[in-house]
Amino acid sequence: MTDDSEVTPLPRSVLVVDDHLYREISDSPDSVDLLDDLDAMVIPYSARAEVNGVEVASIRRLLLDAGQLAPGSLLVKNPYTPDTYEPAELALEAFALAKYHALANVAKHLGATKVSFIDAQVENAESSWNAGAKAKTPAAKADIQVSREVKQKIAKKLHGEMTFDGAAPDIDSALESLRIRNLMSDQQLRYLIELRTGANPIASYKMTLSGTRESSANLRSALSLAVSVPKSGDGSASFTKVVNTISDIDITTEITF
């Protein structure tokens, strides 16, 4: 029987580099330590791994099965489906959308008849997630444009509402939905379940939840890779800009039971 305590968790982020760049990294005293990091992993596209061979082979198989094994791919682990990765340049929007649909699924189990998207607000970062960066100046036009584009993408995908037939609250299923999406620590969703429990359950609820809270550590991990391996690919540059510009994405919804 396998001891779960000995299972190495999947890395928060993965950078697939071409075999030539991998050799450059492994041969340089200034960068070889990157290959030891099991949280932010640099893996070769096809060459033999210099270190952590078992882990590299496992990740390479996972990415190959998902069609994501390609040189230059910077990938971020999805906090809500931990065995899957998102391309870094799409990660912020993907995680916000996943959080919204996780909320809708909980609401469904609680007997909702309608879940409506109200608004998305994108907060500009006051300081960079890159710990080595100096304090930022007031938001530049480029930063404002990045925030506007992210907001438009999210609003476009979430526009509209979901409708259900309605049912009696199934509290056990709602809690299980939180568990499988790694959202048991989200107090807003736990409070929502409490409000649908027992006598006089809530009939409607307007709430704003963070679409980035659970993913922040994974995004910082990917950012460290993008900064450490600047030749990793074009997607890394756009990802770095977005993550250093945006601090949070708040999604406002209204639930009717």
pLDDT in tens, 72-127: 999 999 999 888 999 998 998 899 999 999 999 999 999 999 999 999 888 876 54
Q: What is the pLDDT of residue 235?
A: 64
Q: Which of 188, 197, 205, 213 is nearest to 253 (CA)?
A: 205
45 three-state secondary structure: coil
Q: Which of 64, 32, 65 is nearest to 46 (CA)?
A: 64
Q: What are phi and psi of 46, to 5 degrees?
A: -140, -15
Q: Where are the alpha helices (DSSP H) in the chain?
A: 19-27, 53-65, 88-109, 141-158, 171-180, 187-195, 216-228, 234-245
Confidence grade of residue 206 (pLDDT, cut at 50, 70, 90): very high
What burial class does residue 131 get, using C-beta atoms within 10 Å of its C-beta: 0-12 exposed, 13-18 middle, 19+ buried? exposed
Confidence grade of residue 246 (pLDDT, cut at 50, 70, 90): confident
Q: What is the pLDDT of residue 150?
A: 80
145 three-state secondary structure: helix
Per-residue pLDDT for 49 more than 90?
yes
Cα dihedral angle (94, 97, 103, 106), rounded to 10 degrees? -70
d(C-alpha 78, C-alpha 129), whole Å: 19
Tokens representing residue 204 in the block: 């409607």
Q: To the nearest whole number, what is the mean pLDDT of the chain?
A: 87
Mean pLDDT lowest among 61-75, 160-174, 203-217, 231-245: 231-245
Tokens representing residue 5 in the block: 């305590």
Over residues 2-14, the mean pLDDT reads 72
Confidence grade of residue 180 (pLDDT, cut at 50, 70, 90): very high
Confidence grade of residue 54 (pLDDT, cut at 50, 70, 90): very high
From first CA to last CA, the distance across the chain in angstroms is 45
Per-residue pLDDT for 177 more than 80?
yes
Instruction: Report pLDDT digits (tens) over 120-165.
Output: 888 876 544 443 444 445 556 666 777 787 888 888 888 788 999 9
Confidence grade of residue 179 (pLDDT, cut at 50, 70, 90): very high
Residue with the bigger pLDDT between 115 and 6: it is 115
Name every residue whose Cβ is closer than 8 Å to that of residue 180 and which is 6 or more positions away in sequence: none
Residue with the bigger pLDDT between 195 and 121: it is 195
d(C-alpha 228, C-alpha 39), whole Å: 14
Q: Are 207 and 119 in contact (CB under 8 A)?
A: no
Instruction: Report pLDDT digits (tens) over 20-48.
Output: 999 999 999 989 999 999 999 999 999 99
Q: Are 221 and 78 in contact (CB under 8 A)?
A: no
